[in-house]
Amino acid sequence: MTEKPRGAVINSASRVSGGISSDDEATLVDGSTGGGEPRADASPMPLEQSVRIGRFTVLTKLGAGGMGVVYSAYDDELDRKIAIKLLRAEREPERDRMRREAQALARLSDPHVVQIYEVGEQHGAMYVAMEYISGATLREWLKSEVRPWRAVVEMFAQAGAGLMAAHAVGLVHRDFKPDNVMVGDDGRARVLDFGLARSIDAGGTEVTIPTPSAALELHEPSGSSNHVLSTSLTSVGTLLGTPPYMSPEQILGAPVTAQSDQFSFCVALYEALYRQRPFHGTSREALCRAILYGPLPDAPSGARVPGWLRRVVARGLAKQPEERWPSMAVLLAALERDPVRARRRAGAVVLAFGLTAAGASAASWGQASASCSDADSLLADVWNDDARAAIVTAFTGAELDYGEHTAGQVVARLDAYARAWADAHAEACVAHRDGLRSDSLWDHQVSCLSRRRVELASLVDVLESADEPVIRRAVTAARGLPGVERCADLDALTTEIPPPPDELRDEVERVRDQLSKVHALDKTGRYEQAKTLAIAAAARADELGYPRLRAEALYSKGGIEERVADYTTSGQTLRDAYFLAEEARDDELAADIATLLVFIGGYGTNDSAAGLLWARHARAKLARAGRPDDLRRATLLSHEGTLLNDLGRFDEAEAKFLEALPILEREGELRQLSVLGNLAIVQSRQRRFDESIANFRRLRELSTEQLGAGHPETVVSVMNLAHALTYKGHNDEARALLEDAIERAPAALGPDHVTTSNMWSALAKIQLDEGDAKGALRSSERAYAIAVAAVGPEHRRVATILTRLGTVRRALGELEEAARDFERARELLTKLYPDAHPMRASILHELAQLELERDDLAAARGYAEDAVKMLVAVEIDARTLAEARETLALALWGLGERERARELAAEAERALCADDPEDDACARIKAWRRERRSRG
């Protein structure tokens, strides 16, 4: 059998012309724009290899479908492979529609929708440039092996998230089927071929499916051209879609909505689960009658699909659109509610606490309980020997250097958490039994402990099937479980925000259970799954209208958007969440949201003013909450320190880190590692290398002890230590550490992780110091290639590596090339930091030194003057400022401004010789001044 081309982004159905082919998979093409049937030759121009379309070079033909022909192509400007579709559309109205819809899709950026890059025309033919995907269609993925029903549901949930994203911007797909979903080699599903997509607003009138008798009477064969079940299916021009997946309203020619996509989605999901379609017919007419009026068949014998899942899919297959799920978001949330796993996630409320669905008081269970000593049993179905064994098996089976070590750390942490939970429950139970706690307080404590139990269960679920990204974050996730001590804080419990209305309580708890799953996925790095669930949870919370729940859901969603570096969207989501928390009078939640906005303002969007303002909001909320919360304060201090460091305000940043660190150490928080690393970086930037090296050594020891030698964070700590050592001239130790880090990096971080670019850049510095400029150039070029591929050409890391490249090329005497590298770095840093900044001053100083070598003294003076002014403005350390003044003195001396040059050189000498008179820089400036004095 000939293998289908991988990477295709179009279904393989042949174009329908004149009549419908016998293949039920064929997509029916819209000819409703007038002018009768499209001509058989209404096709895009044929292309040969190497023809250009716009800026794209055509490579090979990938496939053809009802809406056009798809080629692979190369984007010369952005250096990437793409797919490009030439569309079949001869009539101007049809081209206009396609153009508008393609442009709408181009504005849609979602990980589960094929990205549209550009829409244009060439030689009268429309083209759409889009993401190239290496992988297989969802249909091929399903056929390649027998998939467990959970794996099928998880993959369809990703595709459903793509539909949900399209619906959110007003688009309906109208032809969803397994052939129109690609499963990439990365395991991510993307919905594609929106060739039939139309705006929801194009027509959203309600449709009522006529009864079978009315339909038969209406559509009795009469030879009329208006015969819906014959004419519509035997001529192009009225129906759109693929018959087996079409909704009843599509068959009737009524306007389609998001509910129509939902029907098609559920047909495809039913087919994937049961390996047969829900509706059958020996002819097209019979098939359409089955879709319109036929009942859903019984499940095939031997099908291993749970009843709850069948009910979820069946609702999506309801004949009337209004009887289906309210939205894709709600459908996806329903698919996630696996009752077997919910036994863990939801806390088994009735069994564990004796609470009925009607909300009976926990006191009734407490009175009925003969003993409070069996609290351990309440966690038996969540944390037990089977769960421990599953985690150890998953972690050790991943063949990671740190897998076994991490498994031991995680199991020990979860054991301790379970003991603390059981102790807290037993203590509360005894106090209530002995009359020391009211029924109301007991209810509050039970609710708090139940929520902690759900968080634990959700995390265990993820850890039992852990892969490398999960294992990498597992210790942090386990340590990040919400503390049970809060459940014993009676003041905190009694000042909690009022609960939701009784009629909403069960639904609110269900959404919170879903958010617990989101938290577990988020903490363990499964961001795509977490984002899908968070979107669904936020949609459901919005429907319920309870402000606190809406704020919680948006906080989760915004946090995940931050983790995947979608900072603009995250900022908007979190701002909405903040004001909802304000509305709910939840000061602690508002403080958490504002704290994350500090980080986004400083690191994500380079909006330092906004970040500093959000820090004030966070402090105000923590103060108004009225309860000391050291961990929240430490998190805020850490984010403030990161922001201040980025602003070049190193003294203030260091103070924040030093205040946060003892809190995190006392609480046993793993976040102390990142704060300790940030403290060492700030000290390094102030050229306090001895202190920096000491803290990096401590960080390496702690990381190795708590995470293992091969853990990514440990590998990064080794790299940072090596980098600091180079500034003290300890190149032998630094090289050994770097070579170890580079060797471990592929297994720990992935083959070309952005952090490895820093490793190669640090190695280049060592090679340059040792006189191996050519080796330094090779290492710098490798660092640059990795960084650009990982974070794009506009990132600050790229600017740093460009500076290194320029320094190396300058050492090689390649002054023109060095100037280009420095200038590109300067332009990028000016864009990133419009105000005075140490990194901008550094590149100006590099340019000044380069111009001195090129004997352009005026240019050198200009750059050096700007560097000195900027360094004074940011109050940089004395040594860095002294080096810039030294360079300016050299330029001024050459230009004949001797008096000012002498003054600057004297200032530079005082600073450079203050700490170590034997320092090379001190000796250099002294020699220069002696020589000038001897000349008079």
Q: Kindly report which listed range (203-207, 545-549, 704-708, 887-891) carries the lowest average pLDDT score.
A: 203-207
Angle at 309 between CA 307 and CA 312, to 5 degrees: 115
What CATH topology corresponds to 510-613? 1.25.40
Q: Determine the pLDDT at residue 882.
A: 92
Q: In this predicted model, which residue has the larger pLDDT, 550 or 602? A: 550
Both structure tokens of 548: 């606190």
The residue that leads in pLDDT, 204 or 319, is 319
Task: List the single range of 206-215, 277-286, 469-478 with lowest mean pLDDT.
Answer: 206-215
CATH superfamily of 836-936: Tetratricopeptide repeat domain (1.25.40.10)
Lowest mean pLDDT among 306-315, 359-368, 554-563: 359-368
pLDDT digits (tens, 9 = 90+) for 378-401: 888 889 888 888 899 889 888 888
Q: Which of 175, 646, 821, 866 is catalytic?
A: 175
pLDDT at position 884 is 94
CATH code for the domain defined by 136-216+237-336: 1.10.510.10
Among positive and negative, which fits the CA dihedral 432, 433, 435, 439? Answer: positive
pLDDT, residue 73, reads: 85
915: DSSP letter: S
**Domain 752-817: assigned CATH number:** 1.25.40
The tokens for 833 are: 């930091």
Look at residue 341 in the predicted model and tell me its pLDDT: 53
Looking at every residue in the chain, the average pLDDT score rounds to 81
pLDDT band for position 53 (50/70/90)?
confident
Structure tokens at 108: 């849609």
List Cβ<8 Å contacts ≥24 apart for 609-618: 611/639, 611/643, 612/643, 615/639, 615/640, 615/643, 617/578, 617/590, 617/591, 618/591, 618/594
Residue among 143, 11, 120 at smallest CA distance from 73 = 120
| Greater pLDDT, 30 or 611 | 611
Confidence of residue 183 (pLDDT cuts 50, 70, 90): very high
Range ranked top by mean pLDDT from 41-45, 402-406, 764-768: 764-768
Return the bridge partners of 191, or none.
Answer: 113, 181
Pairwise CA distance, residues 113 & 105, whole Å: 9
Is pLDDT above 80 for 35? no
Distance, in Å, from the CA atom of 343 to the CA atom of 112, rounded to the nearest integer, reads 30
pLDDT, tens digit, 9 for 90 and up, residues 203-250: 443 444 444 433 333 233 333 333 333 333 323 334 557 899 999 999
Residue 300 has pLDDT above 90, yes or no: no
C-alpha to C-alpha distances, 722 to 89, 213, 383, 689, nearest whole angstrom? 60, 81, 41, 12
Report the C-alpha gap between 131 and 128 in whole angstroms. Answer: 10
**Alpha helix (H) residue ranges in 149-210:** 149-168
Give start and end residues of each alpha helix (H) in 401-497.
Answer: 403-433, 439-464, 468-479, 490-494
Per the model's pLDDT, the better-predicted residue between 734 and 355 turns out to be 734
Task: Give yes or no for residue 671 having a pLDDT over 90.
Answer: no
Radius of gyration of the chain (CA): 32
**Residue with the larger pLDDT of the pair 171 and 63:** 171
Long-range contacts of 205-213 (CB under 8 A, 24+ apart): 205/254, 205/255, 206/321, 206/322, 207/248, 207/249, 207/252, 207/254, 207/255, 207/321, 208/320, 209/248, 209/249, 209/252, 209/292, 209/293, 209/319, 209/320, 210/252, 212/289, 212/292, 212/293
Whether the per-residue pLDDT at 640 is higher than 80: the answer is: yes
Q: Mean per-residue pLDDT for 349-359?
A: 33
Stretch among 213-222, 478-487, 614-623, 788-797 having the lowest mean pLDDT: 213-222
- The verdict on whether 690 is a catalytic residue reads no
Greater model confidence, 473 or 493 = 473
Average pLDDT over residues 822-835: 91
Tens of pLDDT, residue by residue over 864-905, are: 999 999 999 887 778 889 999 999 999 999 999 999 999 999
- Answer whether residue 789 shows pLDDT above 60: yes
The reported pLDDT for the residue numbered 372 is 78
> What is the predicted pLDDT for the residue at 137?
92
Least confident residue range of 165-179, 224-238, 283-297, 550-564:
224-238
* Three-class DSSP category at 708: coil
Instruction: Name the pLDDT band for 57 (thresholds 50, 70, 90).
Output: confident
Inform me whether the pLDDT recorded for 699 exceeds 90: yes
Band (pLDDT 50/70/90 cuts) for residue 495 is low
Q: Worst-scoring range by mean pLDDT, 47-61, 423-437, 790-804, 867-881?
A: 47-61
Residue 828 pLDDT exceeds 70: yes
Q: Which tokens hold the place of 176?
A: 């969803």
What per-residue confidence (pLDDT) applies to 338? 61
Q: How many whole angstroms separate alpha carbon 375 and alpha carbon 352?
A: 9
pLDDT of residue 115: 87
- Checking 97-105 for CB contacts under 8 A at 24+ apart, the result is 97/33, 97/198, 98/126, 98/195, 99/126, 101/171, 101/194, 101/197, 101/198, 101/199, 102/126, 102/128, 104/169, 104/170, 104/171, 104/197, 104/199, 105/166, 105/171, 105/194, 105/197
Type of residue numbered 847: L
The confidence score (pLDDT) of residue 675 equals 94
Strand order in the sheet with 189-191: 135-137, 181-184, 189-191
Closest by Cα among 50, 49, 57 to 84 = 57
In the predicted structure, residue 98 carries a pLDDT above the cut 90 = no
Residue 18 has pLDDT above 80, yes or no: no
What does each C-alpha distance from 743 to 629, 740, 752 come to in angstroms? Answer: 42, 5, 12
Percent of the chain with pLDDT over 90: 39
Q: Are 304 and 149 in contact (CB under 8 A)?
A: yes
Within 13 Å, how many C-alpha atoms sit on residue 456's CB side? Answer: 31
Exposure letters 455-489 (e unless 16+ CB within 10 A, then b): bbbbbbbbbbebebebbbbbbbbbbbbeebebbbe
